[in-house]
Amino acid sequence: MGALLSIRDLRAGYGKLEILHGVSFTVEEGSITVLLGANGAGKTTLMRAIAGLIPVRDGVLSYCGEDLAPMPAHERVERGVTLSPEGRMVFASLTVLQNLRLGAISKRARAGAESRLASVLRRFPRLAERRRQSAGSLSGGEQQMLALGRALMAAPRLLLLDEPSLGLAPIMVKQIFAAIRELRSEGYSVLLAEQNAQLALEFADQGCVIENGALRLSGRGADLAASDELRKSYIGI
Ligand SMILES: Nc1ncnc2c1ncn2[C@@H]1O[C@H](COP(=O)(O)OP(=O)(O)OP(=O)(O)O)[C@@H](O)[C@H]1O
Ligand SMILES: [Mg+2]
């Protein structure tokens, strides 16, 4: 395994406000990296900077040997960088199928979209059953599956999943995490923002803790889960 994404001294923010003050870490190919941090730590900001939704002010975002930083968001999508945003953001009035097809509008994703659609519907039978239903009528957990399915429709190589378990009942959280684990076994690389440190570190290969826009801790998932420092941090496990 080598580094798929290598972030060095990344600075980003909104307007005059700098939120990320020089963050550095790597995401290995075919692995799950979990990004931990309290509310407001900067997890979503980091995801947005990687996806190209906000500019990188300084630092390097090296992906497959290319610097993403100067690239607009759509070019990153063409390279397989796909964000599943916080809060799911499905189109409530469109059907499940329409939402999924919208995930495949990039040039990269158009080829093979129908077979990818079939595989998403096999992966999430609940979505298949409800494929003609409006996304707004799905339960929270089903909407999260839809958001994940839509991200898969983009033919990703690096999946950026921003708190996919937020607000879900424990049984749904387990299903979502099982799906993410399965994705890793199929070779996808995942960067997962999550607040539930214990749960996430159980299956993450690597973990990073962000605090006030800076990296506070990082290491192998299992080591981090056992570390006193993480225990002592406000995240607590
Ligand atoms: N559009 C924006 N304009 C200005 N400030 C913002 C904007 N979005 C986020 N922020 C600020 O950036 C900081 C980091 O927010 P961010 O959403 O990245 O945190 P987070 O770690 O994802 O938190 P959460 O776990 O609650 O999702 C916060 O102080 C937030 O108020
Ligand atoms: Mg967030």
Residues 205-229 have pLDDT tens digits of 999 999 999 999 998 888 888 888 7
pLDDT in tens, the chain (237 residues): 579 999 999 999 999 999 999 999 999 999 999 999 989 999 999 999 999 999 999 999 999 999 999 999 999 999 999 999 998 889 999 999 999 999 999 999 999 999 999 999 999 999 999 999 999 999 999 999 999 999 999 999 999 999 999 888 888 898 899 999 999 999 999 999 998 888 888 889 999 999 999 999 998 888 888 888 777 775 655
> How far is Cα 50 from Cα 44, in angstroms, rounded to an integer?
10
Tokens for 195, please give them.
């607040």
The residues spanned by each domain of the chain are 3-80+157-232, 93-155
Ligand 1 center–CA 34 separation, angstroms: 18
Q: What is the CA radius of gyration of the chain?
A: 17
* Domain 3-80+157-232 annotated CATH 3.40.50.300: yes
pLDDT at site 232:
72
Q: How far is the CA of 118 from the centre of ligand 2 (A)?
A: 31
Instruction: Check if 40 has its Cβ closer than 6 Å to any atom of ligand 1.
Output: yes
Q: Residue 48: nearest ligand to its CA?
A: 1
Report DSSP state, residue 132: T
pLDDT digits 0-9 by tens, 52-62: 999 999 999 99
CA atoms in the 13 A half-sphere facing the CB of 191 = 30
Q: What is the average pLDDT score of the chain?
A: 93
Region of 99 (left: φ > 0; alpha: ψ -120 to 50; beta: rest) is: alpha
Owner of token pair 């990153």: 76
Which residue of 21, 43, 166, 212 sits with most ligand 1 atoms within 8 Å of its CB, as the best mutation to test the pocket?
Answer: 43
